[in-house]
Amino acid sequence: RILVIGSSNTDMVVKTARFPQPGETIIGGDFFMFPGGKGANQAVAAARVGGVVDLIAKVGNDVFGTQAVEGFAHEGINVAYVLTDPKLASGVALITVNGEGENEIVVAPGANAALTPADLDLAEAAFESTDLILMQLETPLETVLHAAKKAKALGKPFVLNPAPAQVLPAELFPLLSLITPNETEAALLTGLSWEGEGALSRIAEALLQKGVENVIITLGAKGAYFQNADSYFQVAAPVVTAVDTTAAGDVFNGALAVALAEGKDWQPAIDFACQAGAIAVTRMGAQTSAPYREELMLRVE
Ligand code: ADP
């Protein structure tokens, strides 16, 4: 059983030949709407690979929030801890994609920004019954810190996917059983650069020095790297043709959390997560690209 705490957004995407100038109105192409938000993406990815998932999130009292919650329930996620704030809008991401495939994104966090430490205290039963807690950085930092403290007090593993990249307070690191940055996030958190020999282990070591127990750095097409006080190794990602890398990290983290909660060792758990991440990049979208357990069973286990 895993507990995912984090954001839920609705991604609204419009394609256009070029970005508008300030003050300019242009006519774009097709419009698409997808469920998104890192917390929701990771919860869906975890549920699809067989996790029993509780989600703590907050939506607004609007059609986007209602649709998001219906989507979670459809994925088999327990929505009993998804809160609705009647005074706020649900989180949305307004995304413009130009002819070169570049994007411009404005996120209106809405209710996500109002997920408070007190909200977590309403979900005491979820904390007590879970095997592992997974969180990201699209909800307030004080809420992340509070969740990590609760996990520590209960002796539950707390996994932080530190995305989007953000500097973190020193007191958070010793509360983390595992941190899972990508290359950009790992560099920002440590202030170290990827230049030169041995950067990978140097950056992982710097994170361990901050008090984190275990470090996994995701490396895109190169897979993922693990390091703790006892060992280090890299797991290669399957070779695939990437179509859309959106949410690769989210799918990796959701699958990893399930594998770890099932008691898998580091190496097979990371392999499982890499397989899931690789499948996700071969498909369009965020939650839509997350694979099901049956698809992974053909490859691992
Ligand atoms: P993020 O999406 O957070 O930037 P990464 O790009 O590191 O994270 O991707 C997360 C994981 O997804 C990788 O560790 C890998 O397992 C998988 N993955 C991402 N891109 C590819 C790719 N091009 N080919 C195969 N696997 C990939």
- The domain segmentation of the chain, as residue ranges, is 2-7+40-90+112-297
- For residue 223, say whether it is annotated as part of any ligand binding site: yes
Best probe residue, ligand 1, of 138, 216, 225, 252 (max atoms within 8 Å of C-beta): 252
Query: Within 13 Å and on the Cβ side, how many CA atoms surround 301?
Result: 13
Q: How confident is the model at residue 288 (pLDDT cuts 50, 70, 90)?
A: confident
pLDDT (0 to 100) of residue 242: 87
- For residue 300, pLDDT over 80 is answered with no
Read off the amino acid at residue 104: E
pLDDT, one tens digit per residue, over 97-133 is: 888 878 888 999 999 999 999 999 999 999 999 999 9
Residue nearest to ligand 1 atom 21, measured at CA: 221
Whether 242 is in the pocket of ligand 1, judged by its Cβ within 6 Å, is yes
Quote the distance between the C-alpha of residue 297 and its chain's center: 22
What pLDDT, on a 0 to 100 scale, did the predictor assign at position 276?
96
pLDDT in tens, 65-103: 999 999 999 999 999 999 999 999 999 999 998 888 788
pTM for the structure as a whole: 0.95
> Does 298 have pLDDT greater than 80?
no
Asked if residue 301 has pLDDT above 60, the reply is no
* pLDDT at residue 261 in the model: 97
Q: Which of the residues are catalytic?
A: 250
Mean pLDDT for 273-298 is: 89
pLDDT in tens, 35-64: 999 999 999 999 999 999 999 999 999 999
Q: Residue 90: which of 5, 7, 4 has the closest Cα?
A: 7
Nearest CA to ligand 1 atom 5: 220
Mean pLDDT within 155-174 = 97
Percent of the chain having pLDDT more than 90?
88
**Average pLDDT for residues 205-219, to the nearest whole number?**
98
Q: What pLDDT, on a 0 to 100 scale, did the predictor assign at position 243? A: 83
Question: Quick check: 17 pLDDT over 90?
Answer: yes
Residue 100 confidence (pLDDT): 85
Q: What is the mean pLDDT of residues 279-299?
A: 86
* Three-state DSSP class for residue 35: strand
Q: Using 50, 70 and 90 to split pLDDT, how confident is the model at 286? A: confident
The two beta strands, 53-60 and 214-218, are: unpaired
Q: Binding residue per annotation — 218? A: yes
Average pLDDT over residues 222-234: 97
Mean pLDDT score across all residues of the chain: 95
Q: 2-7+40-90+112-297 has which CATH code?
A: 3.40.1190.20
Residue 184: band (very low, low, confident or very high) from pLDDT cuts 50, 70, 90: very high
pLDDT of residue 103: 84
Tokens coding 39: 């917390």
Contact predicate 67/42, CB 8 Å: no
pLDDT tens digits, 189-203: 999 999 989 999 999
- From residue 233, give the alpha-carbon distance in Å to each of 184, 207, 262: 20, 16, 21
Q: Which residue's C-alpha comes closest to atom 26 of ligand 1? A: 278
Which H or E run contains 53?
strand 53-60
